[in-house]
Amino acid sequence: MTAEPARTTDVAALALDYGDRLIVGTVRDVHRALSKRAFGATRFLGGQLPESLHDAVVTSVYGALSGILRVSSGSVRALSARGIGRPIESNAGGRRIIATVNGLIGDELRMLDDPQAIKMAVRKDGEDIAATPFPIKQAYRDGTSHLVILVHGLCESDESWFQREKINGTTYVARIAEETDGTPVLVRYNTGLHVSENGKHLDTLIRQLVDAWPVGVTRVTLVGHSMGGLVVRAATNYATAASEVWPQLVKDIVCLGTPHTGANLEKVAHLGSRLLRFWPVSTPLSAILEARSPGIVDLRHGYISQDEWEGQDLTSQWGLDRIAAAPLAHAEYHFVGSTLGATRHHPFSAVLGDLLVHFSSAAGMGRTGPVVAGARFEYVPSAHHFALLNHPKIGDWLVEWLNARNHNRPALLSGTAATTGQGCS
């Protein structure tokens, strides 16, 4: 039985829920904190009566607002259950909204079994493709033996790879298909979940994809933008620990603007939420910052392993030491970073990096050394974080790396059997 699609009414109901929880609730709590201080002086003159009257009125007003929002949310959800409302993913704008919402609160959507929760899947032409033989064969009739799997970043989707297509005249997807022997495969996932969990999902998806592919797979290239690079590394880490076979096919891992050692923006958000708790009046505002998803929190230090966060309340502390993850010994790692300034030493570059990620983090350089020893680092000046999704220079590098012939031929994996060719380098 096909699941009911998320509708515009579902989005509206979610907005009403969060309007009640975060906006009305936060304003109410700030009001209470301010009034408590303001009535401090009147207690000596008029006793508790003025404050009690004020609190009764305020409680009634905020209670009424909250009640209206809750009733409205329930009514709108009832409309969705009756099939009223346009499917939100029927156009590109709706799909962007869903991707953003999943990045912010995707873990909660999944927990509530909300139809807006994204499930990791292969995507083509804005639709999920089941990773089973017949759908894959229909979608990739001209598929080659070289899979190039592209994994987007936080609050993005498979369609993010097509941004600036009109400006640049092409995309990585088009260039891979036209200028290399690779077949581009786009993946969409719920970016609000832990990176480690999405790594497990990606491991499973790639295994299913290799088994279902219409021809034997001889090579896999993994390309990740921002969080996508962490998810790719989490997938290979998990698959290697589980003794999966497909990592043997991976010869190149490309990470574009990936916060390997953490993202400054998440660190600022965390620090801001802690500072707001120092003053009673601003404490309620910290709830807004602390409502961010586990996926966002993982970006604070570039966590890719469950052991780095399990059993820890990461919203109440700076974080734990990162756990080293062994890279694939036979794969080449290409880390690409950028800065807003024309050089790495420009003031904007030194402070803001590419706007979201500092170039030292994108290069995988931590305080204790490189995340991946021997990784190649490429630098793009005067480019912001999202420009890395479609940049001419990076497109040239991708084509060059994918066409490199200095790889030994790996094992051949097909849908029914695995036969051993030459050993991996």
Q: How far apart are the first and last CA of the chain?
A: 46
Q: State yes or no: pLDDT of 52 exceeds 90.
A: no
Q: DSSP string covering 119-144, please?
A: --EEEETTEEE-SSHHHHHHHTTT--
Query: 231-245, 300-314, 367-381 — which one is most confidently predicted on average?
Result: 231-245
Exposure string of 390-410, with b = 16+ CB inside 10 Å and e = fewer, is: bbeebbebbbebbeeeeeeeb
Question: Kind of pairing, strands 121-124 and 418-419?
Answer: unpaired
- DSSP letter assigned to residue 163: T
Q: What is the dihedral of CA 212, 217, 219, 225, to 10 degrees?
A: -20
Exposure string of 356-369, with b = 16+ CB inside 10 Å and e = fewer, is: bbbbbbbbbbbeee
pLDDT digits (tens, 9 = 90+) for 358-399: 989 999 987 778 889 899 999 999 999 999 999 999 999 999
Q: State yes or no: pLDDT of 128 exceeds 70.
A: yes
The pLDDT, as a whole number, for residue 39 is 64
Question: Kind of pairing, strands 369-370 and 376-380?
Answer: unpaired
The pLDDT, as a whole number, for residue 382 is 95
Q: Which two tokens stand for residue 211?
A: 């088994």
Residue from 88, 90, 86, 111 nearest 100 by CA: 88
> How sure is the predictor about 276, in pLDDT bands with cuts at 50, 70 and 90?
very low
Burial zone of 89 (CB within 10 Å; 0-12 exposed, 13-18 middle, 19+ buried): buried
Q: Which two tokens stand for residue 214?
A: 């219409």
Q: Which residue has the higher pLDDT, 164 or 11?
A: 164
254 membership: H or E segment, kind and range: strand 250-256
Residue from 386, 407, 405, 384 nearest 228 by CA: 386
How far is 100 from 102, CA to CA, in rounded Å? Answer: 5
How far is 220 from 329, CA to CA, in rounded Å? Answer: 15
CA dihedral for 216, 161, 263, 101, sign (positive or negative): negative
Spatial contact of 350 and 269, defined as CB atoms under 8 Å apart: no
**Cβ-proximal residues to 123 (8 Å cutoff; 6+ apart), any chain:** 129, 157, 158, 186, 187, 188
Question: Which of helix, strand or coil describes residue 109?
Answer: helix
Residue from 271, 222, 258 nearest 359 by CA: 258
Q: Which residue has the higher pLDDT, 265 or 391?
A: 391
Question: Of 23-27, 74-78, 276-280, which gets the smallest average pLDDT?
Answer: 276-280
Spatial contact of 148 and 128, defined as CB atoms under 8 Å apart: no
> How sure is the predictor about 419, in pLDDT bands with cuts at 50, 70 and 90?
very low
pLDDT digits (tens, 9 = 90+) for 2-22: 577 889 888 888 888 877 776
Q: To the nearest whole percent, how much of the chain has pLDDT over 90?
A: 50
* pTM recorded for the entire structure: 0.84
The pLDDT, as a whole number, for residue 414 is 43
**Cβ-proximal residues to 31 (8 Å cutoff; 6+ apart), any chain:** 58, 62
